[in-house]
Amino acid sequence: MKYNLHSEHIKQRLFGSMVVIIGSIFLISIPLTLNSFHAYQKSEQALAEISVLKNLTDLSNLVSEERGPSNNVMSSTPESLEKNTIALKKHREKLDQKLNETIALLGHKHYSKLMSLLEHDFKIALSEGRIAVDEYTKFSPAQRSVNKFDYSIQKMYTAWDVARSSLEYFVKHSAGKTSDISNYYTIVLLLTDLRDQAGRVASNIIAPLTFQETLPDENREKSLQTQHQAYYLWKLISTLQPEQLKTEKYLELHQHVQTQFMDQGIPLVENLIDDSTDHLPYSLTATELTDEMVGKFSTVVDLQSYVINNFIPHIQHENQNTFRQFIFSIVVSLISLITALFTLAYARNRIFKPLIEARQKILMLANKNSDGTDQEYYDTSISLFEAIQKLQTKLQQRDILEFQLHNIANTDALTGVSNRLALEKYVQILEEHTEKLSRTGLIILDIDDFKKINDNYGHIVGDQVIQFIANKLKSNLRTSDVIVRYGGDEFIIILDSIEVKDTLLVAEKIRNDIANSVFFVAEKETDINISVSAGVAVGATTWKELFDRADKSLLKVKTSGKNAVAD
């Protein structure tokens, strides 16, 4: 009856635990599913944002690009004015068309604040910049000056600043900035800045270059500052670029920017600054500088366009992943709930009752009588884990006994060193790892005239001498070295990872220690001088070869006078 009450108590606790588990599944699965759904919505929104990002980027680049034909018009000779004016007009039409397309797209995508920013602030800034350029163009040569030229350039800078702020606002409030593609957005923004800074590197010196005047300190400082900013932006882009972006085409375009703009474009401006500093004639005219730099700027735009076009597949892939995660979270939640309910029903009837029975049997095993018969055991206050611990203790006791028996079987009873059975096991390991044999040292040691000791003093003294020799070996060898009593008065010493000269030193050390020691026989009240002979061998391809060499060395010592070591 006590057993049944205990079982029922476990079942009740199981039921309560399963209720907690089911509630926990709901608490985990509902937020997980909602988070997956929100991530899917964000990826859908990021996919829809690509067209807006591309239009805003193109718009910003076109504003930067317009400074080129504007500078050409303002620095034109009478012969090239008409041609440069036509080029500027075409570019303005292209920019205006892109502006109208972008405003329409923003309206369609419900970006009302961005649309208002472009329609109002940007159009005003762009108009003021163009008016400044057109008014400067109308000036007669006598009315023109470096300051007026610079003023027109600064007004065009303002137009780009507004376009850039609209792009920055979009990136900050986009869904993509919180996703795995945020680095792509950052690189697009940095490349836009790099394109503009690239243009400003030249624009900051274009006015004095047009008039062939020495660069004012302000223009020089601005140009140098934009150079440093361009280098910094390029280094930042190279650091932040995602690994998945580094395709062969990307690396090719990246190298074009490095080679054509960073390594060739900026040095053109640096050379002109040096010309001014050294009071030398400029090596390029303003128009020539603009024409040289325009082609080099295009490498930045090409890289930027590739990045935008390249991360569209990544956004699509992320969109598919988030959708799969959303479906997966729903499926996992349902499976978890069904599994928990099934487990509750199954565990009550198929698991805990057998576990209780198993617990009882474990306790019976742990409390077997010494004669091997089972003992009744119905203490229900002991848990299954406690029953296992009791059995584990029993097994540990058995393991200790087995270890002791095994140790006895592998140890020489008289000396406490290893016996021939242990040697056979060790040799088997050596034969399986033949590479160790090449640096294994073997010493075969034999007690000189041991038969005489037995004959003169008896076998008891002989056994004491063998124990004495074994103790000397232990005191002269490392714990990692193997000592084996191989025969009646013969010992084997195996040294791992050792050279011949070191093995000889060890053998000689043992021989000297034994030879310089005196063995006292209490029964006879006399001292016995004991000596040993040793044969040494190091390195072989097989154990037999190693043993035979050491044995031959020992035989050589025995035939030549004993109490010596030979290899």
Q: Where does the pLDDT of residue 89 fall: very low under 50, low under 70, confident under 90, or very high at 90 and above? A: very high
Q: Where does the pLDDT of residue 52 fall: very low under 50, low under 70, confident under 90, or very high at 90 and above? A: confident
Same domain, 88 and 226: yes
Same domain, 133 and 276: yes
Same domain, 319 and 441: no
Q: Which domain holds residue 45?
A: 1-334
Q: Which of 312, 334, 356 is the last residue of a domain?
A: 334
Q: Helix (H, G, I), strand (E, B), or coil: what is residue 374? A: coil
The verdict on residue 374 lying in a domain is no
Mean pLDDT score of the chain: 82
The verdict on residue 373 lying in a domain is no
Which range among 209-218, 241-250, 266-275, 365-374 shows the weakest confidence by mean pLDDT?
A: 365-374
Same domain, 97 and 228: yes
Same domain, 53 and 140: yes
User: Quick one: pLDDT at residue 1?
Assistant: 38
Q: Which of 290, 310, 334 is the last residue of a domain?
A: 334
Q: Where does the pLDDT of residue 192 fall: very low under 50, low under 70, confident under 90, or very high at 90 and above? A: confident
Same domain, 61 and 152: yes
Helix, strand, coil in percent for the chain, rounding step 5: 75, 5, 20
Helices (H) and strands (E) counted in the chain, each on its own, are 18, 7
Burial of 295-306, coded b for 16+ CB within 10 Å and e otherwise, reads: ebbbbbbebbbb
Provide the domain count of the chain. Answer: 2
The verdict on residue 269 lying in a domain is yes
**Model pTM?**
0.50
Same domain, 443 and 323: no
Same domain, 2 and 149: yes
Phi, psi (rounded to 5 degrees) for 537: -150, 145
Phi, psi (rounded to 5 degrees) for 540: -165, 170
CA 22 – CA 333 distance, rounded (Å): 10
In contact, 228 and 201? CB cutoff 8 Å: no
CA 565 – CA 443 distance, rounded (Å): 9
Burial of 470-506, coded b for 16+ CB within 10 Å and e otherwise, reads: bebbeebbeeebbbbbbeebbbbbbbeebeeeebbeb
Burial of 332 (0-12, 13-18, 19+ CB in 10 A): middle
CA 517 – CA 267 distance, rounded (Å): 89
The verdict on residue 47 lying in a domain is yes
The enclosing domain of 546 has a CATH number of 3.30.70.270
Phi, psi (rounded to 5 degrees) for 441: -100, 145
State the SS3 of 400-419.
HHHHHHHHHHCECCCCCCEC
Query: In this structure, how many other beta carbons lie within 10 angstroms of the beta carbon of residue 82?
Result: 11
Joined tokens for residue 25: 């599944």
The verdict on residue 371 lying in a domain is no
CA 179 – CA 242 distance, rounded (Å): 13
The verdict on residue 298 lying in a domain is yes
- Please report, for residues 9, 12, 24, the alpha-carbon distance to residue 20 in angstroms, rounded to integers and kept in the order given: 17, 13, 6
Q: Is 563 left (phi over 0), alpha (psi -120 to 50) or beta?
A: left
The verdict on residue 541 lying in a domain is yes
The verdict on residue 396 lying in a domain is no
Q: What is the pLDDT of residues 317-342, one digit of tens each?
A: 777 787 788 788 888 878 877 887 77
Same domain, 43 and 162: yes
Same domain, 18 and 116: yes
Any residues with CB less than 8 A from the CB of 228 and at least 6 apart, and which?
Answer: none
End-to-end CA distance of the chain: 80
Q: What is the pLDDT of residues 279-329, one digit of tens each?
A: 899 898 888 888 888 778 788 888 888 887 776 676 777 777 877 887 888
**Sign of the Cα pseudo-torsion (349, 12, 354, 342, in order):** positive
Q: Which of 271, 301, 334 is the last residue of a domain?
A: 334
